[in-house]
Structure 1
Amino acid sequence: MIGRDEILALIPHQGAMCLWNEVIAWNADSVRLRTKTHRDPAHPLRSQGRLRAVHLCEYGAQAMAVHGGLLARDSGAAAKPGLLVALRGVELRVARIDDLPGDLECEAQALAQGEGSQQYAFRIFHGGEIIAEGRAAVMFA
């Protein structure tokens, strides 16, 4: 398992903006992560005391960043900085996430990876149930 300190070394998101606590498993095509950050009352994405389900898209995008960081580290390189440019087919099955008692888990699978961009599908689970899924695209700087 890979802990938060290693995740912080892999991605540009630092401090409370790093949303994942641990990598459960990963390979060349996918990553599975777990977190409890959604329950933090000081979560940086909260507004009016709530953390809305739309922020699960950021969790999915950060899962992509973690996977990219792991792949880059394995090849002896640094991950390229990227910009989230598209979300597609996003389905949110809850309205908010700050009131969910258990940990969140995410599966992110690479659909296409190139020199200038990458696309992933992500699914986020709570208590074994999918609460969000979609696809995301990132362009590298």
Structure 2
Amino acid sequence: MLDRSQWDHLIPHKGTMCLLDTVLGYSAENIHARSDSHRRADNPLRSDGILRAVHLCEYGAQSMAVHGALLARDTGRAAAPGFLVSLREVSFGVSRIDDLDGPLDVHGERLMGTETSWQYAFRIEHAGVEICAGRAAVMLV
């Protein structure tokens, strides 16, 4: 298990915009992270006091950033910065997440990685129930 202090300096998301709290494990293909930031009043994605389910896509995207950064670090490199360019086949099992008790489990699976782009599938669970799933693509610069 890696707490935030072991990887947050590797990604561009800073302060409260870093939504993930811990990495429970990762391999060359997968990452499993956990977060309680959906329950925090200072979550920067809140609007009108609500954190909507669509923001789970950002949790999935941040798991990609952390995974890529950890893999790069493991080989003595730094991850290239990137831009989220595509979300596909996203499904939601809830309409909002700020009212969920307990942590979110964020799972990412690297489907493809090249020098110029990454593609991942992501899945977010709450209390063992899938509440969001989809695919995302990042273009590296």
2:120 equivalent to 1:113: no
Q: Give unmatched runs, 5+ long, in structure 1.
A: none
CA RMSD in angstroms comes to 0.5
Q: Give unmatched runs, 5+ long, in structure 2.
A: none
Residue number in structure 2 paired with 1:13: 13
2:79 equivalent to 1:79: yes
Query: 2: CA distance between counterparts of 1:19 and 1:42?
Result: 11
Total equivalences in the alignment? 141
Query: 2: CA distance between counterparts of 1:107 and 1:25?
Result: 10
Q: Quick one: percent identity of the two aligned structures?
A: 55
Query: 1: CA distance between counterparts of 2:41 and 2:128?
Result: 24
Query: 1: CA distance between counterparts of 2:7 and 2:52?
Result: 24
Stretch moving more, 72-81 or 7-16:
7-16
Residue number in structure 1 paired with 2:139: 139
TM-score normalised by L of structure 2: 0.99
Residue number in structure 2 paired with 1:62: 62
Structure 2 residue matching 1:19: 3-state secondary structure: coil
The structural deviation recorded for 1:106 is: 0.9
Equivalent residues of 1:31, 1:108 under 8 A apart: yes
TM-score normalised by L of structure 1: 0.99
The structural deviation recorded for 1:32 is: 0.2
Structure 2 residue matching 1:97: 3-state secondary structure: coil
Structure 1 residue matching 2:7: 3-state secondary structure: helix
What per-residue deviation string (whole Å, max 9, x for no partner) do you get for residues 53-102 of structure 1? 00000000000000000000001001110000000000011000000001
After the TM superposition, list the runs of 4 or more consecutive aligned residues in structure 1 that deviate by more than 4 angstroms: none
